[in-house]
A and B are shown apart, each in its own frame.
Chain A
Amino acid sequence: MVAEEEESTVTEESPSGGSVKFAIIIVFLGIFHFVLKRYLGADNELIFIFSLVLFALGGVALYNKFKDDRKSSFAVSIPMLFFVIWYFIFGGNYEPSFLLVFVPLFLCLIFLLLFLTHGKSAMPELFGFLPALFLFLDLGFLHFLVTDLRLPITPLVENLIVWTPWWAYFGLYALSGKVSSNKRANSLITILQVLGVVYAVITLVIPAVPDLGFDESLLPGPDKLQEARARFEESVPQTPPFFLTLECIWEGEYADLKGCSDLKRKKAQWHYICETVENHIPDSKSNQDCLKEQRERDVKGIVQTSGIDDPTFDKPSRIEFVAYDYPQTVSYGDRAIKLPIILDIENPRKQEFGVEFSCEFVKGKEEPIEGEIFGEKSIRVLTETVSKNVICQPPDGLEGGKYKLKFIAEVIGFKTASHIGRVFIGEKDDQWKEEWIPKIVQLYFPRGHYASKSTPDPVRFNFALGMSEQSLSREVRALFKDTPPQEIPIIQSGGELILEANVENKGNGEITRIAHYRLGLEDFSVAAECKEGFNVPLPDTSKRKITLVDFCTIDSLPLDLMAPEEFVYKEFVAELEVDYKLEKEVSVTFLG
């Protein structure tokens, strides 16, 4: 008896039984239809017939649902029939003049049935819309939106329409409620319904979320620079303006509250650019120089071109000393002690360069005393990672006292490169410029950064190429309001071109030699020293940026860039080779 009770009490003859069986059939056929559609294509005749079969099955499932009242259950077919007539005979005509006749006719029939069945046909009629709706979604909705209504649908909506197994969903949600007394069957149906929701989420939501296993997400790729730049461009201060004003009041700056809060806001922006966009370590010398440069840029309008790390390189190059923890006090007898340090090198592009080691002991303000490097005094780096133990031995006869032991690594022949894109438009009229330039900028420079992109190294070669301020046209200037002229990426013929390049020290070391630089402007008519230089004298190594090319003018463009029919997008590469010195100090006290 108990066992019998546990069996499903749903039979084909019972009112809901037939509906459930048809709904289950529709779920599985709907999944099969969806899979087949992917292989054969939506336009395939077999797929079309399959859709019609599912449509008919959907109608029958709903008919069974309302089987108790035959008159009412017949009403399920009315919306289906009208849809078929509208879509297949009248070609889905949505002309107002046609709809003014068709819709009232349909409504008349609906209301007539309602009247004849005393309102009992209401639910069947409503349900009758469902197979019609799903057939429309399956067959022609996307086409209708795009071609007929000309709506600019987003990829998200397109995903929804193309990748949803509509008939499977129809069957699944037609199985609402407790369809069987068999708990396992009900559980299975619930699981399938949950999976259906999960599928919808994956199809719809995940493409909109960056970095969730997609290379091509619907939103722009979330590289750090883009996020940082986007936030910077929104000019969101680190502190809300209300609190900036309160700070100024607290500091007693009553006389010029606006000026004070503006300055605080700008300072927050300078810190943001230097520490987040350009990746300088807070409190480092390079960061201090960067802040100073930003201040000069804002306050005095002095602008040296800048650059960014190319986001298509994931791993930066890095060379740094890592100190051991060893006793800082050494007794007399241990003068022969060897004092080590590690030099860590990350060389993801497997460049080839040399490193020479030395060390010295400095006591107070006395002259440094050279120590001796134990083992290899120089190495040749060829691999991706190097972790080198550098050992310094104090010289014989070193007096007792407190010393600064300085480890020095001189990197010889370190190479870095950068590239920049520019758009050459020739001579174009105002209408062309107004129409094309915004599109060109949006396509080639979507993040609003027009200067060079370099390999992520401790030393960066920044360069910029653009028209001089006097040569800029009104339209171009209006589009790039706050951009220095050499950084504006649109170049017309007939004006003066300027070129600027500098070397930026991003690390904690010191550039000791600029061995060679080259700007890839072979076909441009410009002074030779503007394009290439060897053993450039270093003017002032304390500055973060060293100017190599100081606003050279370019006399003429290559022929192929002078008068393009539309425009030419061209990239230029610059290469730099430097020697770079790193130092690390540790304190050592010699007793005796």
Chain B
Amino acid sequence: MKQLNLVVITVCFLLVLGCNSDQGDRAATHNFKQGVGELGLSFLANSPPDKIYPGSNFRMIIKADNQAAYDLTEGEIKIIGLEEKYFQLGEVEYSFDTLQGRSLYNPQGEHIFIEFSGKAGTLFENAREYIGNYFIKANYISSLEFADTICINPDFYSVYDSGCTVEERRSYSGQGAPLAIVSMEEILYPAGVGAEVEFRLFLQNMGRGTVRSITLGKHHLGGKELSCQFQTDEPNKRFIGLNEEKQEAIIVCKAFVKDQNSYTTTLAVDFSYSYEFKEQQQLRLVNPNYSGGFV
């Protein structure tokens, strides 16, 4: 009896901790702009079915679920590479303007269901089966916001400073997008009566797809605008194009500080980027009359 009471008390205690009934309160304290989140694509059960028979109609229903902390815009989802002789789809492309990201008002992120309808053809010489390989390709534009509180100490020569301590290097686990700032370096140079502070931000693709390009948005240190540019050979230093092999970029931001004492302030930089990912999939056309038996 005592032990049963113990079990009941324990379960109640855990329920109080574990149950997520008040999503609003929890959401209010949750920072969505951390870690890695991106667009997820998955098929609904039996859409398409595991086996499709010749001459039959079928549907492919894709759930596009935005798990990033930012809205996705100008999105496109395509089915590429299905042989029409075996699987003929009415439409092979779907576009969306905006798919909302995870936020206080939408903690789960927005998701949509995309339906592609098709008709199966006939098998080559009544073969046992045909495997139709294809790609699903998704591309979209999204954004990334980076903000961190940093310490700036322009006084190189003081032995003791009661203010903050400069961290020369910091690591991050992501800002809620597939593209992430993974680390930052802070370097201070003496410059006349003040100092020049340089921030090197290292961007990296942490998602499953490919970053096509990154464009620099706003960039501030405290209330002042920074001077930022990508380390690239391209003439426009606010833009960088990437390829599948190179999925990293470095952006360098500089500012001149006049203050003598150390202080903390906020560094904020945002970006927009174009992203693409492709997945291999299969459809299976099966001969129901194959003399080898049930397939």
Chain B residues near A566 (CB-CB < 8 A): 78, 80-81, 137
- B243: contacting residue among A60, A312, A431, CB under 8 A: A431
Cα-based distance from A420 to B105 in the complex (angstroms):
53
Q: Are B125 and A443 in contact (CB under 8 A)?
A: no
Q: Are B14 and A84 in contact (CB under 8 A)?
A: yes
Chain B residues near A53 (CB-CB < 8 A): 7, 11
Residue of B7, B18, B35, B130 with most chain A CB atoms under a 10 A cut-off: B18
Cα-based distance from A501 to B133 in the complex (angstroms):
26
Q: Are B17 and A313 in contact (CB under 8 A)?
A: no
Nearest CB in chain B to that of A57: its residue: B7
Chain B residues near A52 (CB-CB < 8 A): 11, 14-15, 18
Q: Are A313 and B10 in contact (CB under 8 A)?
A: no
Given A53-B11, A566-B80, are A84 and B3 neighbors across the interface (CB < 8 Å)?
A: no
Residue A417, interface by CB 8 Å: yes
Nearest CB in chain A to that of B78: its residue: A566
**Chain B: interface size category:** 35 or more
Q: Are B278 and A56 in contact (CB under 8 A)?
A: no
Given A57-B7, A566-B80, A571-B85, are A417 and B14 neighbors across the interface (CB < 8 Å)?
A: no
Cα-based distance from A571 to B125 in the complex (angstroms):
14
Residue B291, interface by CB 8 Å: yes
Cα-based distance from A135 to B81 in the complex (angstroms):
43
Chain A residues near B80 (CB-CB < 8 A): 566-567
Q: Are B14 and A88 in contact (CB under 8 A)?
A: yes
Q: Are A150 and B83 in contact (CB under 8 A)?
A: no
Q: Are A148 and B124 in contact (CB under 8 A)?
A: no
| Majority DSSP secondary structure for residues of B touching A | mixed
Within 8 A of B (CB), among A61-97: 63-64, 84, 88-89, 91, 95
Cα-based distance from A18 to B82 in the complex (angstroms):
61
Q: Are A59 and B10 in contact (CB under 8 A)?
A: yes
Question: Beta-carbon contacts of A15-50 to B below 8 Å, as 1s and 0s?
Answer: 000100010000000000000000000000100110
Cα-based distance from A150 to B208 in the complex (angstroms):
9
- B237 nearest CB across to chain A (Å): 21
Residue A570, interface by CB 8 Å: yes
Nearest CB in chain B to that of A415: its residue: B125
- B11: contacting residue among A56, A384, A419, A570, CB under 8 A: A56
Chain A residues near B292 (CB-CB < 8 A): 314-315
Residue A306, interface by CB 8 Å: no
Chain A residues near B135 (CB-CB < 8 A): 439, 443
Given A314-B292, A567-B81, are A49 and B15 neighbors across the interface (CB < 8 Å)?
A: yes
Residue A573, interface by CB 8 Å: yes
Within 8 A of B (CB), among A313-346: 313-315
Cα-based distance from A440 to B137 in the complex (angstroms):
13
Q: Are A312 and B7 in contact (CB under 8 A)?
A: no
Residue of B124, B126, B135 with most chain A CB atoms under a 10 A cut-off: B124
Q: Are A88 and B125 in contact (CB under 8 A)?
A: no
Within 8 A of B (CB), among A410-466: 417, 419, 421, 423, 431, 434-435, 439-440, 443-444, 455
Question: Beta-carbon contacts of B13-26 to A below 8 Å, as 1s and 0s?
Answer: 01101110000000
Cα-based distance from A474 to B83 in the complex (angstroms):
27
Q: Are A455 and B125 in contact (CB under 8 A)?
A: yes
Q: Are A417 and B124 in contact (CB under 8 A)?
A: yes
Within 8 A of B (CB), among A560-585: 566-571, 573
The chain B residues found within 8 Å of chain A, CB to CB, are 3, 6-7, 10-11, 14-15, 17-19, 30, 35-36, 78, 80-86, 124-130, 133-135, 137, 173, 206, 210, 243-244, 278, 280, 291-292, 295
Can you list 13 A-B contacts with CB-CB less than 8 angstroms, sorted by A residue number? A48-B19, A52-B14, A56-B7, A91-B30, A310-B127, A312-B130, A313-B127, A315-B291, A417-B125, A435-B210, A439-B278, A570-B85, A571-B86
8 nearest CB pairs, A to B: A56-B10, A312-B127, A88-B17, A52-B14, A566-B80, A569-B81, A312-B128, A435-B244
The chain A residues found within 8 Å of chain B, CB to CB, are 18, 22, 45, 48-49, 52-53, 55-57, 59-60, 63-64, 84, 88-89, 91, 95, 147-148, 150, 215, 310, 312-315, 348-349, 384, 417, 419, 421, 423, 431, 434-435, 439-440, 443-444, 455, 566-571, 573
Q: Given A48-B18, A569-B81, output 11 extra A-B contacts at Cβ < 8 Å.
A: A45-B19, A48-B19, A57-B7, A147-B36, A312-B130, A434-B244, A435-B244, A439-B135, A439-B280, A567-B80, A569-B83
